[in-house]
Structure 1
C-alpha cells in the first residue's frame, strides 16, 4: 500500500468526486477537500496544503484545470496529477503536473499512481518532472515525453 497522502480532489462531476473520495479514504488517504471550480480548488489548496491534487481539466467554470494545476503546483507544496479525458488540453510543460491519469480510469490505476507519487515524495524528495517518470515497462514516456497512468 502507498503511504497515506493528504489529497485534494478537483473535479466538477459530483458523483465521480465522491466515488474517488471513498476509494481514497478506503485506501487510507486523507481527502482534505473536493473542489468543483478553479476558485474553490485554489482556495482549498492554500488552506489545506495537500501533498497531492488530482485535477480534472474541465471544471464548473470551464476548462480551467490547467490554470489550477499551475497555481497549485507553483506553491511548491503540492504535487499535481491531472485526471482527465481531455489530455490534448494539457500544455507541453504539463502546467507543473507530474503526470496524467486518463479517464476512464480504474481503482488500480489510481492506486498505482498514488503509490508512485508517495514514493517520489518520501523523505521530502522533489517529484521528478513528467518526462522522467519511470513507472513500469509498459508505461514508458511517449514521444512527446508525457506519461499517462491508468489501466493497461
Structure 2
C-alpha cells in the first residue's frame, strides 16, 4: 500500500519541490495546503498516513495546533518542518518530531520512512529528525 502524504507548506516552491521528491520516491501526495483551513479541507476528504506541516503558515503560526489535530483526529503521523526552534511546550503528544528547514530530500524521505515504521522498530530515527517524546 502506498503511503499517502499531505504537505502543509505556505512557500509554494518548497511545497512543489517536496511533492516532486516524494512522488519520485513512491509516496502519493494527496495535496498541498498553504493554511490550516485548506489542510483541514484536504484531510476531510481522504486517508492521510503522514503530514509534513510547516509551523508558520499563510494564516500565522497555526501549524503546531494543526499538526496536533491531524495526529489526534486523523491518526496521521505528523512531522513539523520549520526554520525556527520549537519550544518544548509546542511539542504535542502524537507528533513524531521536527525537521529543520531547509532539509535535503534524503532527510525528508528518511523521516517519512521512519514515521511510517517506527512502531514496528524497523528503522532507527534519522539523524536530522528531532523526535518528540
- TM-score w.r.t. structure 1 length? 0.75
- Structure 1 partner of 2:34: 36
Closer, same or farther: CA 108–140 of 1 in aligned 2, 3 Å: closer
Question: Which 4+ runs in 1 deviate beyond 2 A?
Answer: 86-96
Distance 2:94 2:117 in 1: 18
1:104 corresponding residue in structure 2: 102
Does the 8 Å CA contact 2:77/2:116 hold for their aligned counterparts?
no
The size of the alignment, in residue pairs, is 131
**Which whole-Å CA distance do the structure 1 matches of 2:114 and 2:66 have between them?**
22
Task: Answer whether contact 1:10 1:41 (CA < 8 A) is retained.
Answer: yes
Q: Name the structure 2 match of 1:22.
A: 20
Aligned with residue 77 of structure 1, among 75, 78, 81: 75
Please list every run of 5 or more consecutive structure 2 residues that lacks an aligned counterpart in the other structure: none
Structure 1 unaligned residues grouped into runs of 5+: 128-132
Q: Give the direction of change, closer, same or farther, for the CA distance of 1:89–1:42 in structure 2 (3 Å limit).
A: farther
| Larger-Rg structure | 1
Root-mean-square deviation over aligned CA pairs:
2.7
